[in-house]
């Protein structure tokens, strides 16, 4: 049976899964030298916005019920639907980390001996990790029954994506030139064959 409490627990379990997937990559990344970094206040701010929308706001709702004024009715069938994007988000988050391997960074960085990855999930889309953020936001919307917590994940992911993607693609073009231009020519950004 799906109750409001079990839906919040499912959301929370998803976050734990998220952390467990990321942890070994974040640890390994510390040992790989960075040869060029665009990490600045702008990058920290957009990471903070994503964190606010996908973690802080839903956690405030799940833990202390804030803001209670914006609660919406809980519909078990809607919460059940949230399981699909949550599983898809976790799968894609892990796949994209595995495929990017040592080239992953939390920010916009080029590692020493950075290679352009065009295989695995990167064969179809250029930003699978960001797709997984949107899927997580969608799962959050379906699982949590509060208007603010529902909207904040997708807004956080959207702001993050809108402010990062152009800068990331320019960095890739600067480093990989025609190779990246060709890669852009036969891939989509977020959704295979569509967008």
Question: Which residues sit at the interface with ligand SAH, rule CB under 6 A?
Answer: 96, 100, 103-105, 108-110, 116-117, 122, 127-130, 168, 172
- SS3 assignment for the chain: CCCHHHHHHHHHHHHHHHHHHHHHHHHHHCCCCEEEECCCHHHHHHHHHHHHHHHHHHHHHHHHCCCHHHECCCCHHHHHHCHHHHHHHHHHHHHHHHHHHHHCCCCCEEECCCCCCCCHHHHCECCHHHHHHHHHHHHHHHHCCEHHHHHHHHHHHHHHHHHHHHHHHHHHHHHHHHHHHHHHHCCECCCCCCC
Nearer to ligand SAH, 138 or 148 (CB): 138
Nearer to ligand SAH, 125 or 142 (CB): 125
Q: How near is the Cβ of 104 to ligand SAH at its closest, in Å? A: 5
Nearer to ligand SAH, 12 or 167 (CB): 167
Q: How near is the Cβ of 133 to ligand SAH at its closest, in Å? A: 8
Q: How near is the Cβ of 127 to ligand SAH at its closest, in Å? A: 3
Q: How near is the Cβ of 8 to ligand SAH at its closest, in Å? A: 27
Nearer to ligand SAH, 61 or 122 (CB): 122
Nearer to ligand SAH, 70 or 173 (CB): 173
Q: How near is the Cβ of 14 to ligand SAH at its closest, in Å? A: 18
HSE, side-chain direction, 13 A CA sphere, residue 82: 29
Q: How near is the Cβ of 81 to ligand SAH at its closest, in Å? A: 24
Given the structure tokens 């973690």, which residue do they identify? 55
Classify 188 as helix, strand or coil. strand
Nearer to ligand SAH, 11 or 134 (CB): 134
* Contact call for residues 116 and 176 (beta carbons, < 8 A): yes
């Amino acid at each position: 049976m799906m109750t409001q409490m079990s839906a919040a627990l499912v959301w929370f379990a998803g976050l734990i899964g998220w952390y467990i997937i990321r942890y070994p990559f974040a640890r390994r990344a510390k040992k790989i030298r960075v040869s060029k970094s665009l990490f600045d206040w702008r990058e920290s701010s957009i990471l903070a916005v994503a964190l606010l929308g996908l973690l802080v706001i839903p956690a405030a709702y799940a833990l202390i019920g804030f803001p209670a004024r914006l609660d919406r009715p809980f519909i078990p069938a809607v919460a059940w639907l949230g399981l699909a994007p949550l599983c898809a988000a976790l799968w894609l988050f892990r796949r994209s980390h595995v495929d990017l391997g040592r080239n992953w960074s939390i920010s916009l960085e080029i590692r020493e001996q950075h290679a352009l990855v065009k295989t695995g999930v990167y064969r179809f889309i250029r930003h699978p990790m960001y797709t997984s953020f949107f899927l997580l936001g969608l799962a959050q919307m379906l699982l949590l029954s509060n208007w603010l917590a529902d909207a904040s994940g997708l807004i956080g992911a959207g702001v993050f994506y809108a402010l990062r993607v152009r800068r990331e693609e320019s960095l890739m073009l600067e480093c990989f030139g025609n190779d990246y231009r060709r890669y852009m020519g036969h891939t989509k950004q977020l959704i295979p064959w569509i967008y």
